[in-house]
Amino acid sequence: MCSLYVLLTVSCISSDQPILECNHAQKVAALADELNIPHFPSILHCYLHSQFHPADPHNPDDIPLDECPFYDSKIHVFNSACSTFFAPSDLSDIYGMRREYIHSCPMWRDGGPRLDCVFIVTDPQMPGMRGLDIARVLCFFSFKYLGTDYPCAVVHWFHHVGDGPDEATGMWIVHPGYRARNI
């Protein structure tokens, strides 16, 4: 992944979760300020370009902003999203189906923020962790553009350390990405 921060399409945003802090942004520029990501509006414009041109082989970072759709209107921020998935190694639920809530809360149980990490399939052809990347969810939000709802997540990518699991633990080691646009 060449970008530190990225917008992802989210399949299930939970609007029934109460917003714990009343200063959630309601506009794109305010969310950029809240997340401390000044180039967030540009990322959103590139994301919209990728939604309208999914077969475009160019890296979204290389598309001139004047060729990207512009959006600076109302957004809705959410504290969580649910993910339903098949886990064949855990048949304790109905036929291995699982549901997990992913949190991105500014305040969790009267304490600090809770920003969950997620596995993201980036190469479905590769087995296990070789086809997955890891990211921390900074924000769930949605917006409507030209009559279409876009449920999204802003994530901070992690990078694998090495080409395989650690020999001592058998687990993959990752560290947060720190390049200029690693969202």
pLDDT digits 0-9 by tens, 40-54: 998 899 889 888 888
What's the average model confidence in pLDDT over 155-170?
A: 90
3-class secondary structure, 75: coil
Distance CA 170, CA 183 (A): 28
What is the per-residue pLDDT for 29?
92
Mean pLDDT in residue range 16-37 = 72
Q: What percent of the chain has pLDDT over 70?
A: 81
For 51, phi then psi, to 5°, come to -70, -35
The residue to which tokens 């646009």 are assigned: 181
Strand ranges across the sheet with 114-115: 80-86, 97-105, 114-115
- For residue 56, the tally of other CB atoms under 10 A from its CB is 11
Mean pLDDT for the stretch of residues 136-163:
91
The whole model's pTM is what? 0.78
Q: Provide mean pLDDT across the span 156-182.
A: 83
Helix (H/G/I), strand (E/B), else coil: 81: strand
Q: Supply φ then ψ for residue 178, to 5 degrees.
A: -130, 20
pLDDT of residue 19: 37
CA atoms within 13 A on the CB side of 150: 22
Q: 144 pLDDT band (50/70/90 cuts)?
A: very high
Residue 158 predicted with pLDDT over 80: yes
Q: Determine the pLDDT at residue 18.
A: 39
Mean pLDDT of the chain: 80
Longest dimension (CA), the chain: 52
The dihedral built from the CA positions of residue 106, 110, 115 and 119, taken in this order, carries a sign that is negative
pLDDT class of 5 with cuts at 50, 70, 90: very low
Between residues 183 and 118, the one the model is more confident about: 118
For residue range 44-96, list pLDDT tens digits in order.
Answer: 998 898 888 888 888 777 888 888 888 888 999 988 888 887 777 766 666 77
Axis-axis angle for helices 40-52, 28-35 (nearest 10): 120
Distance set, CA 63 to CA 45, 162, 182 (Å): 10, 31, 17
Average pLDDT over residues 114-120: 90
For residues 154 and 160, give the distance between their C-alpha atoms in angstroms, rounded to a whole number.
20
